[in-house]
């Protein structure tokens, strides 16, 4: 697929069983918002509040497994929370769901539904092959909110221009806007995820994006460590 994505052997050695679900979507028309998606996000948030409480959040299988993956690479998951956990925590604290645009909101719905970190990236801003690896000393990126992130020891996605995404926080450089027509969707799946769950999450999230933004899937891959 273009852009190509691979898992670095050093990451697989440190976190055996880590997997990625990757989809390239093209021909999108991204609206600022979609009423049906707003309703779906609200309904999902209410289900989360009914199923989970803050005290038990870290014990959810998906959350606990991703926290363990963070620790395996040297990242403290209580200081740098996996993005799906942070999203669930935000909902449980009554802070609401961030709204960006229809494509990003579809990504948020997928993450909230399946409790997995997901990233949506502007495919036209990627430079060459993308690698999922462990961040090195001296690396970093500017997150979408403007915060500087130290990449050392973090699971991340990087291209020829450097880190652009992670299951913690994504970079402003590849943020998805209403001008985008090509989007790379990446789902980070921790070891031990039940069989078929990653495929289900990938199919659901891609279909949700196409339902609200049009376009088509032009490439799809599951990468397993």
C-alpha–C-alpha distance, residues 44 and 7, integer Å: 31
The DSSP H or E segment spanning 162 is: strand 162-165
C-alpha–C-alpha distance, residues 177 and 130, integer Å: 20
Place of tokens 């990003």: 104
C-alpha distance across the termini of the chain, in Å: 18
Residue 88: exposure state from Cβ atoms within 10 A (0-12, 13-18, ≥19): buried
pLDDT at 24: 97
Helix (H, G, I), strand (E, B) or coil at 205: helix
Question: Which domains are seen in the chain, by residue range?
Answer: 5-224 (3.50.40.10)
Helix (H, G, I), strand (E, B) or coil at 211: helix
pLDDT at 155: 98
Condensed to tens digits (0 to 9), the pLDDT of residues 142-180 reads: 999 899 999 999 999 999 999 999 999 999 999 999 999
C-alpha–C-alpha distance, residues 69 and 11, integer Å: 10
> Is the previous residue joined to 3 through a cis bond, with omega within 30 degrees of 0?
yes
pLDDT at 96: 87
C-alpha–C-alpha distance, residues 176 and 174, integer Å: 6
For residue 33, count other CB atoms closer than 10 A to its CB. Answer: 12
pLDDT string in tens for the chain (225-residue length): 677 899 999 999 999 999 999 999 999 999 998 999 999 999 999 999 999 999 999 999 999 999 999 999 999 999 999 999 999 999 999 998 989 999 999 999 999 999 999 999 999 999 999 999 999 999 999 999 899 999 999 999 999 999 999 999 999 999 999 999 999 999 999 999 988 999 999 999 999 999 999 999 999 999 997
C-alpha–C-alpha distance, residues 8 and 170, integer Å: 19
pLDDT at 8: 97
pLDDT at 225: 75
CA-based nearest residue to 170, from 196, 144, 207, 148: 144
> Is the previous residue joined to 91 through a cis bond, with omega within 30 degrees of 0?
no
């Amino acid at each position: 697929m273009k852009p190509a994505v691979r898992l670095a052997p050093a990451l697989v050695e440190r976190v055996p069983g880590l997997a990625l679900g990757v989809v390239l979507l093209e021909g999108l028309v991204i609206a600022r918002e979609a009423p049906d998606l707003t309703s779906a996000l609200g309904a999902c948030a209410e289900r989360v509040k009914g199923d989970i409480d803050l005290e038990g959040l870290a014990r959810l299988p998906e959350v606990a497994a991703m926290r363990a993956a963070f620790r395996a690479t040297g990242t403290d998951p209580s200081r740098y929370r996996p993005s799906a956990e942070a999203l669930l925590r935000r909902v449980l604290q009554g802070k609401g769901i961030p709204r960006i645009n229809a494509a990003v909101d579809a990504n948020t719905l997928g993450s909230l539904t399946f409790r997995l970190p997901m990233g949506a990236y502007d495919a036209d801003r990627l430079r060459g092959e993308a690698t999922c690896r462990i961040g090195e000393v001296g690396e970093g990126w500017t997150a979408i909110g403007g915060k500087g992130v130290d990449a050392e020891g973090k699971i991340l996605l990087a291209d020829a221009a450097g880190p652009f995404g992670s299951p913690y926080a994504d970079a402003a450089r590849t943020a998805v806007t209403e001008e985008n027509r090509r989007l790379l969707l990446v789902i980070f799946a921790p070891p031990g995820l039940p069989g078929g769950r990653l495929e289900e999450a990938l199919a659901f999230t891609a279909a949700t994006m196409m339902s609200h933004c049009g376009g088509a899937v032009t490439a799809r891959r599951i990468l397993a460590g």
